[in-house]
Amino acid sequence: MVVETWKKSGIATKFPTYRNSSLVTVHSWQKGKQQDDEAEGLWRIKDSIYDFTSFIDKHPGGPFWIRETKGTDITEAFESHHLTTAPEKMIAKYKVRDAAKPRIYTLTLHEDGFYKTLKEKVREQLKTIDKSPKRRSDLIHLGILLSTYLFAVACAKYDSLLALILAGVALCWTVIVSHNYFHRRDNWQMYTFNLGMMNFCSWRISHAMSHHIYPNSYMDLELSMFEPLLCWVPNPHIKSKALRYVSWVTEPLAYAIAFFLQLGTRIFYSLRHANIMYWHDLLPLTIPLVMYYGSGGSATLLFCLRQWLSMTSIASFAFCVIGLNAAHHDPEIYHEGDTNREDRDWGLFQVDTIIDRGDLKWSQFLVLTHFGDHVLHHLFPTLDHGLLPALYPVLYDTLDQFKGELRECNHIEHMIGQHKQLLRTEPNPRAPGAGK
């Protein structure tokens, strides 16, 4: 059947169940993954089943990562989030049996493959590199965070359009830089991600567990959550060519309301199904409160709320302009349906789904605020962005060894490529690495 053909995944033997949901959310993604993953209600790593129940509260990275992945295959997530060999030795005591069925994912992590080879080199490189850029990342984050509140107060106190725009841009950058932190063990900086009406817990699932592990595939929530407004999968069954042209018109509106849609979807799902709201969803309200009290009574609470909503819309628009044109969407980038590389190594798959922003590499500030050093970030998400530049020599060396390529372009080229990808309906018949 035709419908079965277009639903065939390039990285798994099953079409993901969650994509049949009437409302796609992180919760429906998790439930679907639990149905699909052959993890037998526990945790699966490669072909073994583990029971980490007693380890949830002991996990050094925080209980969230273990609790929220129960019933799923965490092979790639486990591999990419642990750089040392200690965790692999430690989990042996939690193994309960071999898995009854094969993995549904077709990507590999062989000991002599690209990713494991690179990981070993990175592990050695990290022993000698300068760690001070990590401290610089913390200072950049703090400075942008304070700037967000200062510009917000200024736009309320002086009714300044310039201050409002600067506050929106600063809020956007705060959210993006905070993304540098929620991949790691629990920390205070990750909470500042919520200032943009999104939630780091939801994004730990949609971004860290879904997008980072399965980019540009049917399993990638950051593709499906934008559909049908924006569709990057080159498949006319999901969105026709004519409607894809309409995307160019609706795209600015989608950008401006993206933050609000994230919050609205979670509220709607919580009211109709299961609660996915947290106490820290209230953190965005600190902005209009600081605006109101910081203005010294010169602005009404209603005015502050209106300015705050405008500021958030500006931040939402800027976030999408940066984020959706940062790395992943171009006709030359692998998307679901395209021909796969013969070498199914998970690390090479990550490289094939990214074209990096070469125009950012000279500035740690720009890398942090514009999703820079994207390939290395996908391969080693728990490392601070400030440490990534020191890893390029071993990355280039390993790419040469395994016939991979780190592609780069600037932001304008990415924006052009992203809009071309929105229109693409035909899969790319040429496999990554196959040459022109």
**Structure confidence at residue 3 (pLDDT):** 41
What confidence tens digit (pLDDT) does each residue in 372-393 have?
999 999 999 999 999 999 999 9
- Helix, coil or strand: residue 22: coil
Question: Which single residue is written with the structure tokens 């196959």?
Answer: 434
- Helix, coil or strand: residue 23: coil
**Structure confidence at residue 4 (pLDDT):** 58
Give percent of the chain above pLDDT 70.
Answer: 98
204 and 115 assigned to the same domain = yes
**Structure confidence at residue 131 (pLDDT):** 92
Q: Please report the beta strands in 29-136, taking only residues with DSSP state E, as ranges in sequence order.
A: 43-45, 48-50, 72-73, 95-98
Question: Which one of 47, 77, 106 terminates a domain?
Answer: 106
Give percent of the chain above pLDDT 90.
Answer: 83
Among residues 183, 114, 178, the alpha carbon closest in space to that of 341 is found at 114
15 and 126 assigned to the same domain = no
**Cβ 239 vs Cβ 231: under 8 Å:** yes
219 and 119 assigned to the same domain = yes
**Structure confidence at residue 25 (pLDDT):** 87
Q: DSSP class of residue 340?
A: P
What confidence tens digit (pLDDT) does each residue in 135-180 have?
999 999 999 999 999 999 999 999 999 999 999 999 999 999 999 9
What confidence tens digit (pLDDT) does each residue in 68-84 have?
999 999 999 999 999 99
| Mean pLDDT rounded to a whole number for the chain | 93
- In sequence order, the β-bridge partners of residue 98 are 48
**Structure confidence at residue 174 (pLDDT):** 98
95 and 137 assigned to the same domain = no
**Where residue 5 falls among pLDDT bands split at 50, 70, 90?**
low
Question: Which one of 65, 86, 106 terminates a domain?
Answer: 106
Q: Which residue has the higher pLDDT, 393 or 296?
A: 393
Question: Which one of 42, 71, 106 terminates a domain?
Answer: 106
Q: DSSP class of residue 275?
A: -
d(CA 110, CA 173): 38
**Structure confidence at residue 73 (pLDDT):** 97
274 and 172 assigned to the same domain = yes
**Does residue 434 register a pLDDT over 70?**
no
**Structure confidence at residue 306 (pLDDT):** 96
**Structure confidence at residue 2 (pLDDT):** 42
What confidence tens digit (pLDDT) does each residue in 329-352 have?
999 999 999 999 999 999 999 999
197 and 71 assigned to the same domain = no
> pTM (2 decimals)?
0.93
C-beta neighbour count of 150 within 10 angstroms = 16
101 and 245 assigned to the same domain = no
Interval 85-108 mean pLDDT: 95
**Structure confidence at residue 249 (pLDDT):** 87
**Where residue 435 falls among pLDDT bands split at 50, 70, 90?**
low
d(CA 202, CA 29): 11
d(CA 182, CA 194): 11
**Structure confidence at residue 358 (pLDDT):** 93
**Where residue 1 falls among pLDDT bands split at 50, 70, 90?**
very low
Q: What is the 3-state secondary structure (H, E, C) of 356-422?
A: EEHHHCCCHHHHHHCCCCHHHHHHCCCCCHHHHHHHHHHHHHHHHHCCCCCCEECHHHHHHHHHHHH
- At 60, which CATH number? 3.10.120.10
What confidence tens digit (pLDDT) does each residue in 23-44 have?
888 999 999 999 999 999 999 9
84 and 222 assigned to the same domain = no
Tell me the residue type at 388.
L
